[in-house]
Amino acid sequence: MSREVASSTTVAEYDNRTAFAEELVELARTDERIVAVCNDSVGSSNLGAFKSEFPDRLINVGIAEQNMVGVGAGLASAGYIPFVCAAGPFLTGRALEQVKADVAYSQHNVILCGMSPGMAYGELGPTHHSVEDLSWLRALPGLDIVVPADRHQTRLAVRQAVENPRPTYIRVGRFKVPDVSSDSSGLERGTFQTVRDGSDVTLIGTGTTVSRALEAADALAESGLSVRVLNAAYLAPLDIDAITAAAGQTRAIVTAEEANVAGGLGAAVASVVSQLPAGSRPPVRILGLSEFAPTGNTAWLLDHFGLTAAHIRDAAEDALSDG
């Protein structure tokens, strides 16, 4: 049974949609190419301020996600930088064909913003959970996938999308998380960030699970273990070098994601490790979902699926016992 990981301090937490909205408005003031497209989701996509300041640059297509992505592709082909915003499950599920054909295959510089991803809409149930998005989209060549871990990385992801527009999917979190980086720490395309270095075990988190991996690292350190924590902010392009280094320099790897494990972060890491030479493949434990989530608030659901600091710590101890 998993044990609790105690915390003696209260840490401030933030909704990444706020950082997203603030950065988008700030950049739009000096770049008229920036437009927003949404599916009757001005409120849930936090586009109210953008609409007030740039009413002629917000296109609300109504509940028509396939059309929404097509409109975004058309705007991109005309030289605009469209931020196409919708709840994660509807953007990636209903419009997957358009994401494939109009964005990834056609290489239109559309910024797809999956709002409130993972299980952020907890009480609304499986229809509103976006836990398959990483698996679906990782199968599409030519599409960047960015999962910011906090408000700073969310701002950087938006800024990079404007400075170097390319077909991109950004997971814009709703569930409040603490800061794990700073605005000056950088966000490099296709690179994991090392938020803590260590030599015994590597914990790899993405989005909401990065802060929980850091809590687990603190608990493991109390047992005398040296723990590396990687923030997988980019799932595509994938940081194969960071995974290979972790496999060679630590004795075990644990991944944790607020997503289905079939094709997500854990599957990506396991695929890299499985192709390493014999003797260079440490034990890997993959934490995440493998079934439809029940109805419940987000914090409860993360605990229900073993995405707590305590579960991450226990998985690390278990993997080390096999190493």
Which tens digits make up the pLDDT trace of 264-310? 999 999 999 999 999 899 999 999 999 999 999 999 999 999 999 99
In this predicted structure, what is the pLDDT of residue 11?
83
Tell me 167's DSSP state.
S
Confidence of residue 184 (pLDDT cuts 50, 70, 90): low
Confidence of residue 118 (pLDDT cuts 50, 70, 90): very high
Residue 173 has a CB neighbour count (10 Å cut-off) of 29
Pull the structure tokens for residue 1. Answer: 């049974």
Pull the structure tokens for residue 163. Answer: 């400075």
Residues 6+ apart with CB under 8 A from 41: 47, 85, 86, 87, 115
In this predicted structure, what is the pLDDT of residue 109?
98
Say if residues 266 and 273 touch (Cβ distance below 8 Å). Answer: no
The arithmetic mean of pLDDT across residues 42-48, rounded, is: 94
Say if residues 266 and 215 touch (Cβ distance below 8 Å). Answer: no
Nearest to 209 by CA among 110, 312, 107, 301: 312
For β-strands 227-231 and 193-196, DSSP reports them as antiparallel
Peptide bond into 55 cis (omega under 30): no
Tell me 101's DSSP state.
I
Confidence of residue 9 (pLDDT cuts 50, 70, 90): low
The arithmetic mean of pLDDT across residues 164-175, rounded, is: 96
Whole-angstrom distance, CA of residue 266 vs CA of residue 135? 10
In this predicted structure, what is the pLDDT of residue 100?
98
Whole-angstrom distance, CA of residue 256 vs CA of residue 118? 12
Whole-angstrom distance, CA of residue 232 vs CA of residue 146? 9
Q: Domains of the chain, with CATH numbers?
A: 16-172 (3.40.50.970), 193-322 (3.40.50.920)
3-state SS assignment for residue 179: coil
Sheet with 168-172: strands ordered across: 58-60, 34-38, 81-87, 111-115, 168-172, 144-146, 234-236
H-helix or E-strand spanning residue 250: none
Residue written as tokens 């003797």? 279
Confidence of residue 322 (pLDDT cuts 50, 70, 90): confident
The arithmetic mean of pLDDT across residues 18-33, rounded, is: 98
Which tens digits make up the pLDDT trace of 196-252? 999 999 999 999 999 999 999 999 999 999 999 999 999 999 999 999 999 999 999
Q: What percent of the chain has pLDDT over 90?
A: 93
Predicted TM-score (pTM) of the model is 0.95
Task: Using the predicted structure, report yes or no on whether residue 191 has a pLDDT greater than 70.
Answer: yes
- Please provide the average confidence, as pLDDT, over all residues in the chain: 94
Whether the CA torsion 236, 237, 242, 246 is positive or negative: it is: positive
Q: Residue 279: left if φ>0, alpha if ψ -120 to 50, beta else—which one?
A: left
Confidence of residue 323 (pLDDT cuts 50, 70, 90): low
Whole-angstrom distance, CA of residue 257 vs CA of residue 41? 26
Peptide bond into 237 cis (omega under 30): yes
Confidence of residue 96 (pLDDT cuts 50, 70, 90): very high
In this predicted structure, what is the pLDDT of residue 38?
96
Whole-angstrom distance, CA of residue 202 vs CA of residue 149? 17
